[in-house]
Amino acid sequence: MSDTLRHALAKARLQPVDIAAALGVDPKTVDRWLKGRTPYPRHRWALADLLKVDETELWPEADHPRRAISSEVQAVYPHRWTVPRTVWTRHFQAATREIGILAYSALFLAEDTGIIRLLAERARAGVKVRILLGDPGSPEVAARGIEEGIGPDVMAARIRNALTLYRPLEEVAGVEIRLHTTTLYNSIYRADDDLLVNAHTYGTPAAQSPVIQLRAAEDEGAAAVYLASLERVWATAKPLGDSHASGRRS
């Protein structure tokens, strides 16, 4: 019997059915966790995030690859798809000054209407939102598509799909979208001084590559390197309204 988990649910005023709905699992699965079964890592992470506790408090005996290893590194996820949606939501929701998205398409976020709504809400609350996507007509985008094994046309199409979904945000004051022609080695998702950095690995889609969660702790730390990279790309990128930058050809 996992009394610790039961107490955490009671403190959060959540029922097992609430947990099942939030994590997308069968209520019987939650019952097994409450009876002592240790969840898979991705479910442990999501549940700990939902209950706003460290997973080591709930399952001290389990292997914890996400345990913080420095003052900056908050967590390491083996693949982007293992990052719980609650982490993305809480990441952007916590921003009070600035949100920055630097990727080629970030289509997985664009397809999430809840995230799009959240970005708009943060902008209306005074948070500066900057979105940097790859120019679909650029050779850099074509090269990344080939590297991922999906081909240049598919990568360009993903970006155009993402642009269609992100474009309504342009109507919100405080949101700016630009297109870049940069060779990216990482996608960067910023919320003030917190970062989710998705590595780009040759021959592997971004969704299969690791994500590092960082919190800026010093001016010359790891997070500062990624923040500086984001700023350099932003400075050279073209506004979305620029017909040349949008990749349209005559």
pLDDT mean for each 10 residues of the chain (250 residues) = 82 89 88 87 83 81 57 86 91 96 95 95 97 93 86 88 93 94 93 94 88 81 89 93 48
pLDDT at 114: 94
- CATH 1.10.260.40: which residues of the chain? 3-58
3-58 under CATH 3.90.1150.10, yes or no: no
CATH number for the 73-239 domain, one of 1.10.3720.10, 3.90.1170.50, 3.30.420.110, 3.30.870.10? Answer: 3.30.870.10
pLDDT at 230: 94
Q: Is the pTM of this model over 0.95?
A: no
pLDDT at 248: 44
* Contacts of 119 by beta carbon, 8 Å cutoff, 6+ apart: 92, 99, 129, 169, 175
Annotate 103-115 with DSSP letters as a single string.
Answer: SS--HHHHT-HHH
Polymer length in residues for the chain: 250
- CATH 3.30.870.10: which residues of the chain? 73-239
